[in-house]
Amino acid sequence: MPRPVIGIPCGIEPHEWYTPGHGVPVSYLRALEAAGAIPLLIHLTRDEDVLDLHYRRCDALLLAGGDDVDPASYGHPRQPWLGVTTPLRDEVEIRLTRRAVEERKPIFGICRGIQSLNVALGGTLHQDIASELPDALDHREGWELKKTDVLAHPVLLESDSWLARTLGTGELLVNSLHHQALQDVAPALRVVGRAPDGVVEALEGTGPGFIAAVQCHPEELWERADLRWANVFRAFVDVARGSHTTHS
């Protein structure tokens, strides 16, 4: 069976004095490779020909974690508790996401990825959970402990969701390394998972194409903390492989 190509828009890695780099944490690449895919990093550019060529080489998109999504992308004013943003990344991810949805190219979002997916399709975000949702759980526990695989809180999944079927459960513990969260959910998406405090933890698409996204970081869990997430990466790669076959 062919190994599908899964495109991952990059983040920007700043340097104190040297030219910044584009990339994503290695854990995303390892998870996709182990699941049978070929990851393809998509650097940030406004050159439409370059983005088009990258996109056409991909059988699916994975939207990875990273900096905050800038509220300018969903028409809200910037709040003082907002973290670092990368507007060019927002622009690239939104453009690629909308094209993928229109052309039914599979999408899987992780952490920032669930947020940029929601924004791309017309949703909004809480810019900081602690400031806007003071009764919420601590969703930054992983950052505070500097451990990516700490199982911080449970997530309840809808029983009819792709995620629940793939994970084989309707409830599981997840890691938590975010301070933004979904506010208004885009019309083309449905909530399939929440934390006990109501914060949205998982989305799936309501249309004909494949869309799934999680707020946690399964790329940090699939090898040790919770092996069931390996099934999710394999299932996503299988969907991408089907897309490759369809468009070949």
User: What pLDDT is recorded for position 243?
Assistant: 84
User: Which of 139, 217, 220, 244 is labelled catalytic?
Assistant: 217
Whole-prediction pTM value? Answer: 0.96
Active site residue 15: no
In the prediction, which pLDDT does 35 show? 98
- pLDDT tens, position by position, 139-174: 999 999 999 999 999 999 999 999 999 999 999 999
| 219 included as an active-site residue | yes
- The catalytic residue among 93, 201, 204, 219 is 219
Domain ranges of the chain: 5-247
Q: Quick one: 5-247 is in which CATH superfamily?
A: Class I glutamine amidotransferase (GATase) domain (3.40.50.880)
- Higher-confidence residue: 35 or 245? 35
- Tell me whether residue 158 is one of the annotated catalytic residues: no
What are the pLDDT digits (tens) for 82-102?
999 999 999 999 999 999 999
Short-list 155, 126, 150, CA closest to 140: 150
Show the tokens assigned to 146: 């500097």
Do residues 220 and 175 lie in contact, with contact meaning Cβ atoms separated by under 8 Å? yes
Residues 218-242 have pLDDT tens digits of 999 999 999 999 999 999 999 999 9
Given 111, 139, 153, 179, the catalytic residue:
111
Tell which wins on pLDDT, 67 or 245: 67
